Amino acid sequence: SFLIERLQHAMSKYGRMREGKSGLTKWLLQETLEEHDSTMEHPYMKTIYQRRADFAAYTLYLNSQRLIFEAMEKAVTANATHPVIGRIYDSDIERAPPLRSNVEYFAKKVLPTSKGGAHSHANIEPTPSARRYVEVLQADVEESVELLAVHHMLQYLAVLSGGQFLKTQLSKQMQSESIDDPNDGLTFYTFASIGVRGGSKFVSAYMDTFDSLAFTISRQRILECAKQVYALSDALMAECYAVAPVELEPETNTPVKPTEGPMLRLTSAELAEFDGVNQPRILLSIRGKLYDVTAGREMYGPSGSYSKFAGKDVTRALGSMDLSHEALDDLDWQPETSKEEKTLVDWEKKIGGKYPVCGDLIQLVRPRVITGGAAVKNEVTDDGATTEGAAATCPFSGAAAPPGAAGTCPFAGAAEKPAADDKGECPWPFVFLHDVQGGLHPKHRLKNAATVAIVAVVATAVVRYFL
């Protein structure tokens, strides 16, 4: 039955892949991870992360984004009845209108007073890379309207995810510089139709829809398109950074010191409480290590773009770049390729370089030992945790198997010397505590018969005494 359980688990895991949960979006995110990281870690982005953005450069960035989104949304509207584009078309999420408003806000309200008026005549015309992007977009649409969906996904998900952190950092910088009504200039990152806490759900639903699209172009062409989008975005940011280079604070992936005080030991159910709602503290786990990400509440808190990670084990989600709900708290998962292992290691370095380790995730298990002493993989417990390949422990003593007897009951040989063919078997009668079938094995028939006879005699004597 155990083998059947494991086979069913493997088949269900494969089934999830067939259902689209590990489809085109996951593959595309994996194949463009290096390009994605390059844009996220670009010096221009870091000026915003560190709240040192130059507002002339930022207005240039906004106006360049305006040009790109106007061209893209015009093409999407024109092809709204296309079988692929029609599935993802949503006029409520269009960004061109708020971008026009934000450009006007910064040009008229912020730049005239920024840096003593030095930015009042700053050049904010869209950059050459932004214009080049529009040309590439138009050529892609002419080649195949389906390529427009690639632009659509990458641009909108960037604003819905990482863009929310940019909004937080820009707002804090503007407040520190006493700029009035900063949120009026940050509506590019606000999706009224989605709501403050609906971003992650919208992203998940969008990705599911994208996975179900009936593309006729090859995956390789989709990948080429995506890589070009990242390359042009990188070039655009370089042009904005060149307007006002900033000496950035050095960053390191050296693990930060663990949290002071006692280290936590939590089950999956207990970890779920630390989601920023039930508990103000926000934790997540990767490969059994708990990280305190409370300092990143803007990203991991209830309204953050990564709120779905709060209170969860995210090993599979990060290692496989699978953002589906099924990828969370999958304690069975192990990297299946060198690429997944490298991806997971990179994430461990990134998160470990920003947030402290605060404990360990406990995987509660119920060990099983079968007749003959063969070790088997442990069963899934009530909270869904699973541990594979662990040495069995006897439920009677709770002790681990002695050295050299991995996978056997630690009571083996304690009551009687085992035969050569059943070395390491849990001795009778302790085997009944966890393996009744093993206790009833024919080789124990004399002991079982004697026990039944003794019990019958004692029971008869007790009955006669009271009668």
Task: For the chain, give the percent of residues with pLDDT over 90.
Answer: 51
The model's pLDDT over 92-148, given as tens digits with 9 standing for 90+, comes to: 999 999 999 999 999 999 998 877 666 777 889 999 999 999 999 999 999 999 999
Contact (Cβ atoms closer than 8 angstroms) between residue 188 and residue 65:
yes
Contact (Cβ atoms closer than 8 angstroms) between residue 319 and residue 341:
yes
Contact (Cβ atoms closer than 8 angstroms) between residue 100 and residue 108:
no
In this predicted model, which residue has the larger pLDDT, 137 or 383? 137
Q: Which of 5, 30, 7 is nearest to 335 (CA)?
A: 30
Is the per-residue pLDDT at 403 higher than 60? Answer: no
Q: Tell whether pTM > 0.95.
A: no
Give the separation between CA 293 and CA 314, rounded to whole angstroms: 13
Q: Radius of gyration of the chain from Cα atoms? A: 30
In this predicted model, which residue has the larger pLDDT, 13 or 179? 179
The model's pLDDT over 15-64, given as tens digits with 9 standing for 90+, comes to: 333 333 458 998 998 899 889 989 989 999 999 999 999 999 999 999 99
**Angstrom distances, CA of residue 380 to CA of 43, 238, 384:** 46, 50, 6
For the chain, helix (H) and strand (E) counts, in that order, are 18, 4
